[in-house]
A and B are shown apart, each in its own frame.
Chain A
Amino acid sequence: MTTPWIRPATLDEALAVREEHADWRVLAGGTDLMVDAGRRPAPAGVIDLFGLPGLVGVEPMRDGSLRIGAATTYSMLLASDDVRRHLPLLAAVAREVGAWQIQARGTLGGNVGTCSPVGDTLPALLALDAEVELVSRKGVRLVAFDDFCTGYRTTDLRPGELIAALRFGRRALFASEGARHAWRKVGTRRAQSVSKVMLAAVAVLDDERRITCARLGLGAVRERPVRARAAEDLLVGERADAALAQRASEALTHDIAPIDDVRSTAAYRRDVAARLVRRFVLSLA
């Protein structure tokens, strides 16, 4: 018996299949779902969205935001002038996802759909205030990624919905002259290793180097990717110095809850996360 498999030609067709077959697996590049496909029960059917025209590409919108289709691969992100120019943080992340073979297949929407605590792009989506564009036959729903992610590999995706795109409405602020960003992925090897700790950070400085806006997105330090809000809050309105960096790193304990697992220990993760934040704040001085 072969699995029912549909490669829709249009987004409308995809939404019709999605509504009709709620239990079918939604597949993009396969870099998550194929890893353990042999160890799980076969899905009732597959909706294959890889390369679906309406879901691929980077588009500057009239309202100033940047819209990235869910089935856009990391290789496409890296090749996009718009991403490099307007979302340099995301470009830096894409370059360190897996290696070329994974970048050629893995998609931004797939990373969001799996919503793993170690999803590489997810701290950056938090740091960039990204919104998830969800479509169904009823229409479009926009949800902040921070709210879309609801826990350990769980999301607010509703029946009949597909992840259509990620929207970056604040790219103008985050790519402004006073903006600084940092991406640090700590693992056993530069390429192809699952992270022990990740930090995607953005700060905007005014003319007097006062921090007007701060975002600290962390991965692998909790059951879900998380913003270190307590640390962000104490940065805003301040000028960076060693004391502020220290306080920010200590405030992480309010938002992170690392665990021991096969890849690392809670103590290591806590220590490294604190260092990454401290270094980022020092870089703003």
Chain B
Amino acid sequence: MTLRVRLNGRDLLLDVDPQRRLLDVLRDELRLTGSKEGCGEGECGACTVLLDGEPVCSCLVPAGQVDGSEIMTVEGLGDGELLSAVQDALVRFGGTQCGICTPGIAVCATAALRREPDASAERLRELLAGNLCRCTGYQLVIDALCAAARPAAGPSGEGAP
């Protein structure tokens, strides 16, 4: 099956089995290995990509369903070596440890802040509830996202207006 997609801003034609998981197409065919496979069952969010602007678990999306769609992976967030505001904040605040969950968090958070730029820390926790971290927890992630949303708010975004 030939699929027409717009991936990280580039138009592509892909010839793949429609049953293959989008995650496998991204990693194995296109060598975009930023998206990780954590659970492979839609529970952990490590494989999150944006499909037409909405975060989805790429392990649960068969390739046949992305024909005609726009896909954004973690590789598409920054501009070359320049990190996006969300990525930069995750680095500065230490919102990452082993790194497996980080791409999915960066992608989902990007969608969250696009949709709700004024989201409270509590609302961000709800929007990011599908991204599990097993290293350290979520406080530094949420601090980073609050800072990315409100650059002037300082290091502790929790409880900021």
Interface residues of A (CB under 8 A from B): 2-3, 5, 7, 27, 29-31, 34-35, 37-38, 42, 46, 48, 50, 75, 98-102, 104-105, 190-192
Contacts and interface: CB of A to CB of B under 8 A. Distances in A.
A48 B64 contact: yes
A205 to B, nearest CB: 31
B130 A101 contact: yes
16 contacts: A2-B16, A31-B60, A34-B21, A34-B59, A34-B62, A35-B42, A35-B60, A75-B54, A98-B42, A99-B131, A101-B48, A101-B108, A105-B57, A191-B129, A192-B43, A192-B129
Interface string B113-154: 000000000000011011110000000000000000000000
Main secondary structure of the interface of A (DSSP, over half): loop
Nearest to B57: A101
A99 B18 contact: no
Contacts of A48: 62, 64-65
Contact of B56 (A42, A101, A192): A101
A31 B42 contact: yes
B42 A2 contact: no
Interface of B: 1, 16-19, 21, 40-43, 45, 48, 51, 54-57, 59-62, 64-65, 67, 108, 111-112, 126-127, 129-132
Contacts of A31: 42, 57, 60
Given A5-B1, A30-B60, A50 B43 contact: no
Nearest to A36: B41
A105 B129 contact: no
Contact of A2 (B19, B130, B131): B19
A5 B64 contact: yes
